[in-house]
């Protein structure tokens, strides 16, 4: 069960986020929010000027999302990184941005998509959000131990969610993803 984010002032960029989520729902595309917005849902509050979303869609279908958003948004063509692609969506009126990761193909990413959960996010309503375990693992992999901010977020996520974290899942994937020692460091 996801923890609802703490209510507060609604960031401006949430307007474009809601438009993207609505378009994804209409297209039947599975997604989940990750990074700072997901961290907020799990109790670690951080300001962000954009949001990051993982989409279960490959680049060949990305044009459907572009069409669904219409002229309101400028959508950058996806950049292919092999096992996934990345694109940005910018609302023209405000320059607010959503970064999207398309069709990550690994086992971990497939597991994260299956484990996502619905959360009530103030200003957005119900959206799909990465599980706390998958968010932790993604932050550890992404930071490679070099980002103090990411490691601090991870330590807070563990402390704030200690009663609900699936330790077996977390430790198993940390081993497979090569971040076991990082997890041990922050989990003291």
Q: Please indicate, yes or no, whether residues 14 and 62 belong to a single structural domain of this protein.
A: yes
CATH code of the domain covering residue 67: 3.30.460.10
Q: Assess whether pLDDT exceeds 80 at residue 5.
A: no
What pLDDT sits at residue 14? Answer: 65
Q: Are residues 122 and 138 in the same domain?
A: no
State whether 31 and 87 are in the same domain: yes
126 and 159, same structural domain?
Answer: no
Tens digits of per-residue pLDDT, 57-87? 877 888 899 999 988 888 998 998 887 889 9
Is residue 8 pLDDT above 80, yes or no? no
Whether 46 and 34 have beta carbons less than 8 Å apart is answered as no
Write down the pLDDT at residue 49.
Answer: 66
Number of independent structural domains in the chain: 2
Last residue of a domain, which of 130, 154, 169?
A: 130
Please give the residue range of the domain that contains residue 153. 132-188
What is the reported pLDDT for 2?
Answer: 52
Q: Which residue has tokens 């996934």? A: 84
Residue 9 has pLDDT above 50, yes or no: no
Q: Give the end of a domain, one of 80, 108, 130.
A: 130
Please tell me what DSSP assigns to residue 78: P
Asked if residue 178 and residue 91 are part of one domain, the reply reads no
Percentage of the chain lying above the pLDDT 90 cut: 48
Burial degree of 160 (CB within 10 A; 0-12, 13-18, 19+)? middle
Residues 94-152: pLDDT tens digits? Answer: 888 889 998 777 899 999 999 999 998 877 889 999 999 999 999 999 887 678 888 99
Residues 51 and 117 placed together within one structural domain of the fold? yes
Pairing type for strands 79-80 and 85-91 reads antiparallel
Same domain, 148 and 72: no
**The model's pTM:** 0.86
Q: Which long-range contacts (CB under 8 A, 24 or more apart) does 174-178 make?
A: 174/137, 174/140, 176/108, 177/108, 177/137, 177/140, 177/141, 178/141
């Amino acid at each position: 069960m996801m923890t609802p984010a703490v209510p507060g002032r609604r960031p401006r960029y949430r307007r474009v986020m809601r438009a993207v989520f609505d378009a994804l729902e209409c297209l039947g595309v599975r997604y989940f929010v990750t990074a700072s917005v997901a961290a907020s849902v799990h109790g670690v509050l951080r300001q962000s000027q954009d949001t990051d979303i993982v989409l279960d869609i490959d680049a060949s279908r990305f044009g459907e999302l572009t069409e669904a958003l219409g002229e309101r948004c400028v959508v950058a063509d996806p950049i292919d990184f092999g096992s996934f692609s990345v694109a940005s969506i910018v609302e023209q009126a405000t320059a607010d941005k959503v970064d999207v990761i398309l069709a990550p193909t690994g086992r971990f990413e497939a597991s994260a998509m299956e484990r996502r959960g619905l959360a009530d996010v103030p200003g957005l309503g119900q959206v799909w959000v990465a599980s706390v375990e998958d968010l932790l693992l993604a932050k550890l992999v992404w930071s490679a131990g070099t980002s103090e901010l990411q490691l601090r977020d991870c330590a807070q996520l563990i402390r704030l969610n200690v009663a609900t974290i699936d330790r077996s899942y977390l430790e198993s994937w940390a081993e497979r993803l090569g971040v076991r020692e990082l997890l041990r460091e922050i989990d003291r």
